[in-house]
Amino acid sequence: MRISVCRSGGFAGLRRERAVDTERLPPPEREAVEHLVIEARFFDLPERDTSGLPDVIHYRVRVELHGRSHEVATDERAAPDPLVELARRVLADAE
């Protein structure tokens, strides 16, 4: 499973981007990340769902799995918690 995350906005307006192939992650991390994709029901999420609130952090998340792909543009107030957690986790090692 390939997961790409781009973060933008927030009060700071900082942009951060990272993509991971979950196959290359340590097994516990791989399991946690893939579980979040399932928990968020990622492939059922609308392509765009934003709160319109000022200064919230925006995420663009793309997941590719077995030739299937889906991309979601959302923010930390509109997205389901597992998706926010997924985005934060993928980006956590970007620094």
Min dist CB 8 to other proteins, Å, is: 4
Nearest residue (CB) to other proteins, 27 versus 92: 92
Sign of CA dihedral 42, 43, 45, 49: positive
* Residue 10 and residue 56 in contact, taking contact as beta carbons nearer than 8 Å: yes
Nearest residue (CB) to other proteins, 22 versus 76: 76
Nearest residue (CB) to other proteins, 17 versus 21: 17
* Residue 73 and residue 8 in contact, taking contact as beta carbons nearer than 8 Å: no
- Residues contributing to the site for other proteins (CB under 8 A): 6, 8-16, 50, 52-58, 60, 73, 76-77, 81, 95
42 half-sphere exposure, CB direction, 13 A CA radius: 28
Min dist CB 61 to other proteins, Å, is: 13
